[in-house]
Amino acid sequence: MGGEVKPLYSARQIEARIAELAEAIAGRLPADMVIVALLRGSFVFAADLIRALYYQGARPQIDFMTLGSYGKSQESSGSVAIHRDVSEAVQGKHVLIIDDILESGRTLLFARELIESRGAESVHIAVLLEKPGKRKVEITADFRGFVAPDYFVVGYGLDAANAYRELPFIGLLGEGA
């Protein structure tokens, strides 16, 4: 993996946007919300958002879920599988699902329906990025960092074949770079 990455959102832009998102989230959800971060792509975003939420008075419980769509290609396939489930019950909780990017929407629709079916009191979704042109199912994020172009992006937790997650910024890879 040695492809060129063209910066799209800088570390400072991301930090500033996350502070705004945290303020909006803390204004809408109770301080004792349960956060479910979807692994692996959201781990950097979730870590920074959770600390920004602290400064807005939130005192969340944090949980994780690993979901995957079948196949390793850059175009996600139709079905979603649970590779690792949450550790705590979500029944009666106000849940905030955090993910890296809303693209086809299948992953987040699956996650939302799963958590709703387990009796969560409310379910909200926060994503760092949204690619509006690629939606395959009807779902919207309640909180969104940036609208990204319909090209493959990496960095800040987002990967291409599990590389580039360590970049402190988000950049375009391949045809978009």
60 binds Mg ion (CB under 5 A): no
Choosing among ligand IMP, Mg ion, none, which partner's interface includes residue 152 (Cβ < 5 to 8 Å by kind)? ligand IMP
What is residue 49's three-state secondary structure? helix
Backbone angles phi, psi at 161, to 5 degrees: 50, 40
68 binds Mg ion (CB under 5 A): no
By CB under 6 A, name the one of 21, 46, 102, 126 that touches ligand IMP: 102
Residues 10-29 that bind ligand IMP (CB under 6 A): none
Q: Which is nearer to Mg ion, 41 or 171 (CB)?
A: 41
Q: Is the peptide bond before 40 cis (omega within 30 degrees of 0)?
A: yes
- Please give the Cα distance from 173 to 137 (Å, whole number): 25
Angle at 9 between CA 7 and CA 13, to 5 degrees: 140
- Shortest Å distance, C-beta 74 to Mg ion: 10
- Beta-bridge partner residues of 35: 62, 96
Residues 30-89 that bind ligand IMP (CB under 6 A): 41, 69, 76
Q: Which is nearer to ligand IMP, 53 or 125 (CB)?
A: 125
152 binds ligand IMP (CB under 6 A): yes
- Shortest Å distance, C-beta 113 to ligand IMP: 13
Q: Which residue has the tokens 């329906």?
A: 113
Give kind and range of the element (H or E) at residue 84.
strand 80-84
DSSP states of 90-140 as a string? Answer: -TT-EEEEEEEEESSSHHHHHHHHHHHHTT-SEEEEEEEEE-GGG--S---
Choosing among Mg ion, ligand IMP, none, which partner's interface includes residue 48 (Cβ < 5 to 8 Å by kind)? none
- Shortest Å distance, C-beta 113 to Mg ion: 20
Interface mask toward ligand IMP for 82-101; x: CB under 6 A: -----------------xxx
End-to-end CA distance of the chain: 15
Residues making contact with Mg ion (CB under 5 A): 41
Residues making contact with ligand IMP (CB under 6 A): 41, 69, 76, 99-107, 152-154, 158-159
